[in-house]
Structure 1
Amino acid sequence: MWDKPTLLNWIASLLFALSVVVMLYAALFAVVHLPIFPLREVKVDGELSHVNREQVKLIVAKHLKGNFFTLDLVKARNAFEKLPWARNVSLRRRWPDTLEVVIEEHQALARWGTIALVNTHGELFHAASGSDLPVFYGPGDGVIEVASQYGEFSKILKTANLEIANLALTPRRAWEITTSDGMVVELGRIEMQPRLEKFVSVYSRTIASLNMKVTYADLRYPNGFAVRKPVLVKAEVQAKAIEDKSTDTTTIKPNVSKPSTSKPSNLKPGKTKPTDIIKQQT
């Protein structure tokens, strides 16, 4: 090999080039790690209602290590994404000494039972909220489905001034709504929206104008629906009449039966007694 000057020259040139590259890398590494490029400002943008200044300051102090060049953006983004209300986080360096952070917060739509919150994208997240939110129930893979149907059902019920307090999807994919005034509405597994639209139309024109509170509505009939008569109306009227007729100081206790606090049993089409329901034919 030593008698081949061309090969020796080629090896020497390669070693020289490698040495230059190593020297340049070492010089660059030393320069970027000098304390002459400090990160002086962290700018946080986004429509923030729950992420506060104290949380940001804590993340900056604990997780933003290094200068403008050496800061690990992946680790920094992961730190911000651990905030309970942070859904998406993006980071960007801005020369010469600024880090820009854009945070997209979760928009709470409902509660998922007692374990989590549901955002407007049908995603679960764990955070504390004091807002009065509807409650969803369903199988673990049904979060997006329940959130989507909530929007459709809410639009229909809004025309009758009704709001959803609870929305449940059973493992058999049957739907049940509980309104804010305590009415339970059974929708079944098929044609939920047409059934609900039919009920709301009749409810607005007839039932809503009656001086009574409907506690249960079964919409699973093929050509109509059934509602359960309120149990407490007669007792309440009797108590009020006795109170109005009382003219002395003697205490009169009306013979009013104590209302049951148990959840009404589900009605089954074709097996419900005529005295328990009012059937609306279409």
Structure 2
Amino acid sequence: MNRMSAVPFDVRLMNITATVLFMGCLAAGVAAVGWWLMRYPAFNIGRIVVEGELVHNNAVTLRANVAPVLKGNFFTVNLKAAQEAFEQVPWVREAQVRREYPNSLRVLLKEHVAEAFWGPDTGTGLVDNTGKVFEANLGELDRDGLPRLQGPEGSAPRMLQMYRLLAPALQPLDVTLDGLVLDARGSWQLRLDNDAVIEAGGGGTEDVLQRVQRFVRTLPQITSQYKRTAEALESADLRYDDGYALRLKGVTTGSATAAGARPRR
């Protein structure tokens, strides 16, 4: 005979009831302890340790700005919300937040490193060294001579990459690349520190770079004929298959291979 079936029904019922009551009491006890832990003053966030290479922010100001928006204690604070709160602070690019028992948060911050201005001359946008666009107080810039990039939304990483290729390519002419413009059709325009404008056309990165390199190699041959230097450059149009047209201060000419050709976008 089955041993369970030999136990009277009322006894089995009492055992089940006792087990249920025990488990309920245990759960209630755990909940009570959890409730006490989450509200015990010793576990309130009492310290926020800020680390990282901070140039435009300081730990004291960061703690003062972010601490009031943090909700909960060591156990209940939302780390994702805390991270987002720190990343809302100007110049902060990335924040990593973790708990440190019993009542601390440790925050590792990375700031934006500005590489260029972004958008129109009146804007306050900047592009950091990763190609991310951010807003900041331009009076807090710690670098002079940043170029300006202007292009469609989402094009900042590509434009920063192009700038890093073209700026050194122009160095033999002893001119500085002050800005880049990328229009909606994918055509590039270079703006130099002497206010000269170079139309570099469209295509892939390598296509544009090759046009500019060809221009840099051959321009001194033309300027020397007119007893001028690259500083005399006013504008150039590189959108030709086999040459380019240019304007020098007081002189209008074009490369021999560009004569009669039509520029392409």
Taking structure 2 as the reference length, what is the TM-score of the superposition?
A: 0.79
Cα deviations by residue, 1:39-80 (Å, 9 ceiling, x for unpaired): 333211111111234531322441234443343322222211
Amino acid at match of 1:276: T
SS state at 1:133 partner: coil
Amino acid at match of 2:157: I
Aligned residue runs from structure 1 range 10-21, under 5 A? 10-21=16-27
Q: Is 1:220 matched up with 2:239?
A: yes
Q: 2:219 and 2:146 mapped to 1: Cα distance?
A: 25
Q: 1:72 aligns with which of 78, 91, 98?
A: 78
Q: 2:136 aligns with which of 124, 127, 130?
A: 127
SS state at 1:39 partner: coil
Q: 1:108 aligns with which of 103, 114, 129?
A: 114
1:60/1:118 CA distance change after superposition, 3 Å: closer
Amino acid at match of 1:196: V
Q: More helix by proportion, 1 or 2?
A: 2
1:279 aligned residue: 255
1:253 aligned residue: none
Q: 2:219 aligns with which of 169, 179, 203?
A: 203
1:13/1:159 CA distance change after superposition, 3 Å: farther
Q: Is 1:230 matched up with 2:206?
A: no
**Aligned partners of 1:63 and 1:75 also within 8 Å:** no
Q: Is 1:141 matched up with 2:150?
A: no
Q: How big is the shift at 1:197?
A: 0.7
Q: 1:93 and 1:51 mapped to 2: Cα distance?
A: 22
Q: 2:199 aligns with which of 186, 193, 201?
A: 186
Task: Return 5+ residue gaps in structure 2 as ranges.
Answer: 1-7, 259-265
Q: How big is the shift at 1:4?
A: 4.6
Q: How big is the shift at 1:229?
A: 2.4
- Segments of 4+ in structure 1 off by > 6 A? none
Q: 2:98 and 2:172 mapped to 1: Cα distance?
A: 46
SS state at 2:138 partner: coil
Q: Which moved more, 1:58-67 or 1:216-225?
A: 58-67
1:237 aligned residue: none
Question: How many pairs are equivalent?
Answer: 238
SS state at 1:44 partner: strand
SS state at 2:233 partner: coil
- Counting aligned pairs with the same residue, the percent is 30
Q: 1:161 aligns with which of 130, 150, 174?
A: 174
Q: 2:30 aligns with which of 3, 18, 24?
A: 24
Q: 1:40 and 1:142 mapped to 2: Cα distance?
A: 43
Q: How big is the shift at 1:281?
A: 4.6
Q: How big is the shift at 1:169?
A: 0.7
Q: 1:81 and 1:213 mapped to 2: Cα distance?
A: 46
Q: 1:60 and 1:205 mapped to 2: Cα distance?
A: 60
Q: How big is the shift at 1:6?
A: 2.1
1:104/1:63 CA distance change after superposition, 3 Å: same
SS state at 2:130 partner: coil
**Aligned partners of 2:48 and 2:106 also within 8 Å:** yes
Cα RMSD after superposing both structures: 2.5
SS state at 1:220 partner: coil
Q: 2:161 and 2:10 mapped to 1: Cα distance?
A: 77
Q: How big is the shift at 1:109?
A: 1.6
